Amino acid sequence: MKTASPITAGHAVLETVIGFMGIAWSEKGLIRLCLPERSREAVERRLFRHAGVSSSTEQPQWVVELIASIKAYAAGEDVDFSGVPVDLDGVDDFRLAIYDEARKLGFGETTTYGELAKRAGHAGLARETGAALGANPVPLVIPCHRILAAGGKIGGFSAPGGSATKERMLAMEGVRVGPPPDAQASFAF
């Protein structure tokens, strides 16, 4: 009897409490992660814009676990994605260094583009670091939302919803960005 061949690639669209999200994987690891959209179809369209996304929906065990973790994160739980395998074939050494350093940031931990560049061995390349993070194929797993502009400003974000999405994700992790609330607004009376 012939056994089924192992699943080497696929994709999934998942419904979370913050919207529909999507992932795609290869035999080596995660290749795409789409942050929340309003519809399943919008996520599918975004996933299939990228080469290498398989139409298979069969899920290896690590993908089943990743989906559960993404749903838990979306529900506000502290989730560590640092162990998720990622397939970054074709990514240059500079971006690999930036992504590797970003993955070391834990839930609710932030740094600046300049500091991340320095930690990755590329001091002075804050702008290039921002561009690298803007091209991040697997946000959340490579937590680019945790990187802020100088002075604690929110900075850019290339996901749907832009900086507002970044700010919401940080708020879910207990990080407040921007000026403190007005003194009158901070009390319940």
Residues carrying an active site annotation? 144
Query: Distance between CA atoms of 31 and 47, rounded to whole angstroms?
Result: 10
Q: Please say whether the beta carbons of 117 and 125 come within 8 A.
A: yes
SS3 letters for 14-31?
A: EEECCEEEEEEECCCCEE
The residue written with tokens 């832009």 in the block is: 162
How many C-beta neighbours within 10 Å does residue 94 have? 17
Number of separate helices (H) and strands (E) present in the chain: 6, 5
DSSP three-state, residue 66: helix
Q: Please say whether the beta carbons of 34 and 43 come within 8 A.
A: yes
